[in-house]
A and B are shown apart, each in its own frame.
Chain A
């Protein structure tokens, strides 16, 4: 991997309904390569360190991504174990739910 790509941050896009629960959180978060984020689970842990409690909103205690939350990496539905490469984009979405 070229050195400049290896230094690129993982970019996480968060849904509005989630960031409203964490008043300081932006819709788009960059996790620097220095954080050594290797999987989706690592990225969510990094979010939780910045905004305590955010992991519990995205993941349940199984642990897995909540049933009505979706996480996509490079357009594919991901699990907590999905690997992440530097510069990759993680999109967190609220799934269809409710009544």
Chain B
């Protein structure tokens, strides 16, 4: 059986796909897809082999695009992907996640939708809008976006979401009711005596450890955190990192204690890699210690950033790690981050990176 690996890339101007064999040494680029709409998140549904892309066009509004033939042909739909008449319309889809037979979509302005027919039609899970904190949510720099979606792998009713800048929320009843999960995360942009609020933190990226659904990591606007109890309490794991600021986080496919980050130099310092030198930072012990991975990455005059959904791993052994930059480059590692190769340049701004392993 021959496998191939796909890197699914969402950009400001369409979706792209890179393809390689499992050696992951040589990559071929295809695209742009989705009529060059901004695509905030492109994911694979491993159960069906379908590729799904969520985004929104300034002209034509939000939609989820779908390809059942690895990108050769696409359809799109936004049936039901709307708030009630009179409310602020949805600008774009920001995040997608598959859970069992259901597909979830997070949107801007922040809200959650579910599809039970593979993305053909959508239903609003209005419970999130009914949370008492909702009138107090404020947008982050990218808007009031629901950008992180973490379904529990064994319990269909449980789901975590990350909203900028409202924080982390959890439901145990399929989206009817929600509670905040922000204890221990800072809001440095608030007055000194209000820096640990119940909600309002600017979570940048929320990820779940493999095989340990209650172990969550988050890159926040103000620090890096781990929780071992489903987000009820967060502890800082930023000691040893060059910065408390960054956007993406990516978990290892099998090791719950291994995590990849790409810290940037600070929220008011340009938001590019520190000292103009690119590095991915890896922990193998849940954030107790960190090591910088630089082999093959540019080590001078480098001023890119990496956005919140633009880093991912694959499920091969050893794991591949990938990230795409604000300047349209894509870097890949086939050895768990030890060494890197630039596999695409001159793409539009990269908004998301995900992977798919295909068995022929």
Contact = CB atoms under 8 A, between A and B. Distances in A.
A and B form one complex: yes
Contacts of A68: 58-59
Contacts of A97: 58-59
Interface stretch (A2-10, A29-37, A52-60): A52-60
B78 interface: yes
Interface centre among B58, B59, B79, B87 (most CB of A within 10 A): B59
Q: Chain A binding site: helix, strand, loop or mixed by DSSP? A: loop
A47 interface: no
Given A17-B35, A21-B76, A57 B58 contact: no
Interface in A37-95: 52-53, 56-58, 60-63, 66-69, 94-95
Contacts of B84: 61
A98 B61 contact: no
A62 B61 contact: no
Contacts of A53: 76-79
A21 B35 contact: yes
Interface residues of B, number: 19
Given A20-B35, A53-B79, A61 B87 contact: yes
Interface residues of A, number: 21
Given A61-B83, A61-B89, A56 B61 contact: yes
Given A53-B79, A56-B78, A21 B60 contact: yes
Contacts of B89: 60-62
A68 B86 CA distance: 18
Nearest to B74: A21
Interface string B73-105: 000111101111111011000000000000000
A11 interface: no
B287 to A, nearest CB: 37
A75 B213 CA distance: 59
Interface of B: 35, 58-61, 63, 76-79, 81-87, 89-90
6 closest A-B pairs by CB = A61-B82, A60-B89, A97-B58, A57-B60, A61-B89, A56-B78
7 contacts: A21-B60, A21-B76, A56-B61, A57-B59, A61-B84, A61-B85, A61-B90
